């Protein structure tokens, strides 16, 4: 095992809080997606307001049925949802629910994360898409926000998601579980509870 993988294992084992996140429990994949996209660079109250507004505008629909949206304050957020909807429509046989179910069943790895990124026309990775993969789909993902990036850097670990995921696998750890433990260690900030 490489020294970096050993370090991840040691840090993870030293952390007390390893509870999973349940903030999206009971939500459809479409609902969870618009909530995660709303987890932008804001404090708790603003994040909750933006996520709530997006959830209200979704109104129980599947993302495939949306087309163009203008729900979020940041252009990239609207683009993610719009691009995903348009690409699902082009695929013709995919609702977002089917896309997710098939992706989970066939690819419980980072490959599905890349497929989701491509459908959103996001080619540099995104914290919110990784957040969705980790907390809604339960696939291997390691969202890196500013708090986690700082935590990784302070521990002389890579700050790129794909590299951290590889190290977790090398240490025989599930990346999503490590990511949750690391974010709890790095910050007291949490997402609003949208579980039902």
- CA contacts within 13 A on the Cβ side of 24: 25
Question: Structural domain tally of the chain?
Answer: 1
* Per-residue pLDDT, 27: 96
Answer yes or no: are the C-beta atoms of 173 and 9 closer than 8 Å.
yes
What whole-number distance in Å separates Cα of residue 139 and Cα of residue 109? 6
Residue 15, SS3 per DSSP: coil
> Does 194 map to a domain?
no
The reply to whether 159 falls in a domain is yes
| Mean pLDDT per 10-residue interval, the chain, length 196 residues | 94 93 94 94 89 96 95 95 94 87 69 81 86 90 92 95 94 95 86 88
Domain membership of residue 153 (yes or no) is yes
Residue 192 lies in a domain: no
193 falls within a domain: no
Is residue 195 in some structural domain?
Answer: no
Q: How many CA atoms lie within 13 A of 114 on its CB side?
A: 6
- pTM for this one? 0.91
Find the domain containing 74 and state its range. 3-16+24-186
pLDDT of residue 115: 81
pLDDT at site 91: 86
Residue 125: predicted pLDDT: 76
């Amino acid at each position: 095992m490489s020294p970096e993988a050993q370090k991840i294992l040691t840090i993870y084992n030293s952390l007390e809080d390893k509870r999973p996140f349940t903030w999206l429990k009971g939500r459809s994949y479409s609902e969870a997606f618009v909530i995660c996209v709303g987890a932008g660079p804001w404090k708790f109250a603003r994040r909750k307001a933006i996520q709530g507004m997006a959830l209200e505008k979704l109104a129980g629909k599947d993302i495939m049925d949306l087309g163009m949206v203008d729900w979020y304050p940041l252009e990239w957020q609207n683009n993610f949802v719009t691009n995903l909807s348009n690409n699902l429509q082009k695929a013709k046989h995919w609702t977002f629910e089917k896309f997710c179910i098939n992706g989970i069943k066939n690819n419980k790895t980072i490959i599905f994360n890349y497929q989701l990124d491509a459908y959103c026309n996001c080619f540099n990775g995104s914290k919110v898409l990784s957040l969705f993969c980790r907390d809604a789909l339960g696939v291997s993902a390691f969202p890196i926000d500013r708090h986690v990036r700082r935590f990784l850097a302070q521990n002389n670990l890579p700050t790129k998601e794909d590299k951290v995921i590889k190290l977790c696998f090398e240490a025989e750890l599930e990346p999503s579980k490590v990511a949750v433990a690391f974010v709890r260690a790095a910050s007291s900030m949490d997402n609003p509870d949208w579980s039902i």
